[in-house]
Structure 1
Amino acid sequence: MTRQSISLTRPNDEWLKAQVDSEEYTSKSEVVNDLIRKAREVEAIRKKLIEAEESGFSERLPDQIRADAKARLKNAAKI
């Protein structure tokens, strides 16, 4: 694991300490890593939403879309 040194404002440092004090996390590093993971998830979701928006409108009916989605989920479960 890579070690980093960062500077924090007092409110951010106090917030991190409060997260550890609440025993939800065991260290400030764990809090920061969790925040980064969540930010990466949000970024991935945002990217997918933009791609979907840019792909345009579908001519398929809602029932067709649901059937395709169910088929994709079924195939993904087999893998």
Structure 2
Amino acid sequence: VSQNYIYYQNTSNTLYVKKLNSAVRKLSLINMRGQAIMEFTDVSRERLENGIQFNNVSTGAYVVCMRTEANEVLTKKVIVK
């Protein structure tokens, strides 16, 4: 299993995903009620490494769920301040 580096930078509201093996077919930002707040499809590795901004997102805890083209599901909890 390769190491994935997923981190969220609060100062810029940006999610970074480094060292993925394949592009992401679907990326969802899900709130604690289970509602998808944002969805992105067919996200390239370059875009993930450069960062995806979450604009106009309320303060709170969220789960980022990504399904890669290799059918891996990756999740990361993020706190938006």
Name the TM tier (shorter chain): under 0.3
Of Structure 1 and Structure 2, which has the larger fraction of its residues in strand?
2
Under a length normalisation based on structure 2, what TM-score does the superposition of the two structures give?
0.16
Of Structure 1 and Structure 2, which has the larger fraction of its residues in helix?
1
Under a length normalisation based on structure 1, what TM-score does the superposition of the two structures give?
0.16
